[in-house]
Amino acid sequence: MKFRLPLTPEAEQELARERDAAHFHDECGVFGIHGHDEAAHITYLGLYALQHRGQESCGIVASSGREHLAHRAMGLVADTFGEKALSRLGGRHAVGHVRYSTSGESHLRNAQPICANTDGGPVSIAHNGNIVNAVAIRRELEGRGAIFSSTSDSEVLLHLLARSRENTMEDRFIDAISRVKGAFSLALLTDDAMIGARDPSGFRPLSLGRLDGAWVLASETCALDLIGATFERDVEPGEVVVIRRGRLRSLRPLSRSASRHFCIFEYMYFARPDSNLMGQNVYAYRKELGRVLAREQSVTADMVVPVLDSGNAAALGYAEESGIPYDTALIRNHYVRRTFIEPAQSIRNFGVKVKHNAIRSFLAGKRVILIDDSIVRGTTLIKIVAMLRAAGVREVHIRISSPPSTGSCYYGVDTPNKEELIAYRHTVDEIRDMMGADSLAYLSLEGLRRLADQELKSGICDGCFSGVYPVPVNVEEDRPQLSLFRAVEDEPDSE
Ligand code: AMP
């Protein structure tokens, strides 16, 4: 029996915060190509198109058979791979990965694809998603002597595969993915095959394409467009595709989930608007969300202004539906880097002005409907409203094309602990007052779900809005508590 001492409210909060921080926040993009003379170059381009899915580290593993050549680094794809690096990655097959994590584990050791030499040959895995029982499996394996070299949830897949007693690599892979729960879209390279797989709920996207006879796997169709590949179809939830010698075999080894749970946040924010997810174009869907928002939350105003770029499509939809003119009177600097040198003397609203600036002559005296796709901590909008006021805007009406974000994501989108989410701690009226807006309204959960029913072929996961998480997560068990050695030679120089 377990006893727990009563805790003060502050300690309870602290504990909740720690538990919530326990899951890995990975956002990723995966890409793979099998049977092309320029495999590494094409993977580089594919990753370039998927850069929005992860900006912290990237990597490509290329192969012509029994040797896998890996190049992984911290940073952006274009900064990491030059002609020299790519020319070293010879072979007709390749998988690649882009990753972003805010879990404090921004180290090269967590960069992907992750590779290992097994008794069945080399294996390289690129993973998008989050395995919710990774820590439990890791503890079990460590208890039996396994040595892990990263803190990434994806590494358990490699261990399970290496230890499986099945005969072929594909059966070992199937054995491994049968043991994990949560979200995974995977591209895997063995010595003679590329394997793609999606978890039975289908949380994350994965598409199949063809290029010059080669098979391509990509998180989003925008990567297929860039390389000039034709879209073949999506990998289905629960499906494993094995590509070998130009042929594709489709397997259904995983027990079927009762329903599909495609991440609605991919449509709303995460994916690129030019991608089609499960047959539905992201841009069109975002516009439709704006239309629904306009019907649900109308207000008299002079102009509809998006928060660039996340609010663009929803604002257009809102404007079209309401008949109020669309105007991009709030400009965004697209070249802002995560770190820059701040002035020693404080400049008012410096933080927001680096990224956004208001065109005063268009805005002074106007009633503005300000549209964004979501509010996370609230920092962006608080500053933008102040900027609009300073530009002489008469009324600011904030409209958000999603319901209030009240919960973390456990399936692979980077959201902060729920205590940090402004809508978890405050009511809509309180948030409106904190922002200094005249009104604030969100899309309703019912409106979001109705639209998904009408437009999407898949069921959705809306856990970050509804608190309904389709695959159970034991946050306590999922708490990493991993102490590790640190290879400082991997770390970027800090100034
Ligand atoms: P905040 O200022 O913290 O309220 O963040 C709001 C802005 O962050 C909005 O413009 C969103 O488009 C954007 N956003 C929403 N979700 C995420 C996410 N998971 N990662 C990065 N940015 C996000």
The owner of tokens 């989003």 is: 220
Q: Are residues 231 and 281 in the same domain?
A: no
Which residue owns the Cα nearest ligand 1 atom 10? Answer: 310
Domain termination residue (choose one: 234, 261, 288): 261
CA 212 / ligand 1 centre spacing (Å): 38
Side chain identity, residue 200: P
Q: Which atom of ligand 1 is nearest to the CA of 27?
A: 19
Q: Are residues 62 and 112 in the same domain?
A: yes
CA dist 112 → 127, 185, 197, 489 (Å)? 8, 14, 17, 18
Which one-letter DSSP state was computed for residue 342?
P
Contact 167, 174 (CB under 8 A): no
The per-residue pLDDT for 476 is 55
> Domain check: are 248 and 287 in the same one?
no
Other C-beta atoms closer than 10 Å to the C-beta of 145 total 6
In a domain, 475, yes or no: no
Beta bridge partners of 33: 94, 216
Domain for residue 405, yes or no?
Answer: yes
Asked if residue 191 has a cis previous peptide bond (ω within 30° of 0), the answer is no
Distance in angstroms (rounded) separating the CA atoms of residues 32 and 126: 9
52 located within any domain: yes
Residue 28 is a catalytic residue: yes
Q: Please tell me whether residues 150 and 294 are part of one structural domain.
A: no
Q: Please, which pLDDT band fits residue 109 given cuts at 50, 70 and 90?
A: confident
Same domain, 181 and 88: yes
pLDDT > 50? residue 171: yes
Query: Given pLDDT bands bounded at 50, 70 and 90, which one contains residue 9?
Result: low
Residue 151 has pLDDT above 50, yes or no: yes
> Any bridge partners for residue 280, and if so which?
277
Distance 54 CA to ligand 1 centre (A): 14
**Which tokens belong to 71?**
């190049």
- Pocket flag, ligand 1, residue 415 (CB < 6 Å): yes
372 ligand 1 Cβ < 6 A: yes
pLDDT given for residue 259 in this prediction: 87
Please give the average per-residue pLDDT across 44-73, as a whole number: 96
- Report pLDDT for 336: 80
- Per DSSP, which regions of 223-374 are E strands? 230-234, 240-244, 247-251, 262-263, 276-277, 280-281, 303-306, 330-332, 356-358, 367-372
- The residue among 479 and 456 whose pLDDT is bigger is 456
> pLDDT value at position 488?
63
Does 344 reside within a domain? yes
- Tell me: pLDDT of 466 over 70: yes
Q: Is residue 474 part of a domain?
A: no
Question: Is ligand 1 within 6 A of the CB of residue 297?
Answer: no
The whole-number pLDDT of residue 458 equals: 86
**Is the Cβ–Cβ distance between 296 and 275 less than 8 Å?**
no
Residues 186 and 68 in one domain: yes
Domain shared by 169 and 86, yes or no? yes
Does the pLDDT at position 360 exceed 70?
yes
What is the rounded distance in angstroms from the CA atom of residue 253 to the CA atom of residue 239?
A: 7
**Averaged pLDDT for residues 159-179:** 97
Give pLDDT tens digits for 232-288: 999 999 999 999 999 999 999 997 766 899 999 999 999 999 999 999 999 999 999
- 138 CA to centre of own chain: 23
Cβ–ligand 1 distance for 285 under 6 Å, the answer no
Q: How far is the CA of 446 from the centre of ligand 1 (A)?
A: 22
> pTM value?
0.91
- Tell me which H or E stretch contains 430: helix 428-435
Burial label, 387 (beta-carbon count in 10 A; 0-12, 13-18, 19+) = buried
Cα-to-centroid distance, 269 and ligand 1 (Å): 8
* Atom 12 of ligand 1, residue of closest alpha carbon: 310
Task: List the structure tokens of 182.
Answer: 């949560």
- Phi, psi at residue 185, to the nearest 5°? -120, 125
Catalytic residue among 28, 58, 115, 222: 28
For residue 389, report the distance from its CA to the centre of ligand 1, in Å.
22
For residues 288 and 218, membership in a common domain is answered with no
**Residue span of the structural domain in which 66 resides:** 25-261
- Per-residue pLDDT at 342: 67
| 377 CB near ligand 1 (under 6 Å) | yes
CA-CA distance, 52 to 308, in Å (whole number)? Answer: 15
Give the pLDDT of residue 490: 58
d(CA 47, CA 224): 10
| Structural Rg of the chain based on CA atoms | 23
Cα(3)–Cα(486) distance, integer angstroms: 35
Query: How confident is the model over 213-232, as a mean pLDDT?
Result: 98
Read off the pLDDT of each residue in 90-100 and give the average, rounded to a whole number.
Answer: 96
Residues 48 and 110 in one domain: yes
Short-list 77, 62, 71, CA closest to 28: 77
> If you measure from the C-alpha of residue 374 to the centroid of ligand 1, how many angstroms do you get, rounded to a whole number?
6
Residue 6 lies in a domain: no
Quick one: tokens of 484? 């590790």
Residue 98's pLDDT band, with cuts at 50, 70 and 90, is: very high
Q: Is residue 227 in a domain?
A: yes
Write out the two tokens for 488.
């400082």
- Model confidence band, residue 468 (pLDDT cutoffs 50, 70, 90): very high
Would you say residue 3 lies in a domain? no
277, 278, 284, 452 from 455: Cα distances, Å: 12, 11, 10, 5
**Residue 266 Cβ contacting ligand 1 at under 6 Å:** no
Domain match, 40 and 164 both: yes
Domain boundary among 206, 237, 261: 261
Percent of the chain with pLDDT over 90: 78
Question: Is the pLDDT score of 224 beyond 50?
Answer: yes
pLDDT tops 50 at residue 20? no
pLDDT at 187: 98
Of the listed ranges 15-29, 108-122, 277-291, the one predicted with least confidence: 15-29
Ligand 1, residue 416: give the atom nearest the CA.
Answer: 19
Q: Which atom of ligand 1 is nearest to the CA of 380?
A: 2
- Cβ(18) – ligand 1 distance below 6 Å: no
Residues 421, 285 share a domain: yes
Same domain flag for 31 and 70: yes
The Cα–Cα gap between 187 and 184 comes to 10
Query: Given 205, 229, 261, which residue is the final one in a domain?
Result: 261
Q: What mean pLDDT comes out for the span 322-340?
A: 87
Task: Give the lowest-confidence range in 326-340, 405-419, 442-456.
Answer: 326-340
**CATH number of the CATH domain containing 342:** 3.40.50.2020
In terms of C-beta density within 10 A (0-12 exposed, 13-18 middle, 19 or more buried), how is residue 317 classed? buried
Here the CATH number for the domain that contains residue 199 is: 3.60.20.10
pLDDT of residue 338: 63
Distance CA 370, CA 353 (A): 17
What pLDDT does 475 receive? 67
Residue 1 in this model has a pLDDT that exceeds 80: no
Mutate to test the pocket of ligand 1, among 53, 373, 376 (most ligand atoms within 8 A of CB): 376
When pLDDT is cut at 50, 70 and 90, the band that residue 353 belongs to is: confident
Contact call for residues 79 and 55 (beta carbons, < 8 A):
no
Percent helix, percent strand, percent coil in the chain, to nearest 5: 35, 25, 40
Dihedral, CA of residue 255, residue 260, residue 265 and residue 266, to nearest 10: 80
Greatest extent of the chain over all pairs of C-alpha atoms, in Å: 73
How many structural domains is the chain composed of? 2
**Cβ–ligand 1 contact at 434 (below 6 Å):** no
Residue 364: is its pLDDT beyond 90? yes
Ligand 1 pocket, residue 431 CB under 6 Å: no
Give the distance (Å) from ligand 1 centre to CA of residue 246: 41
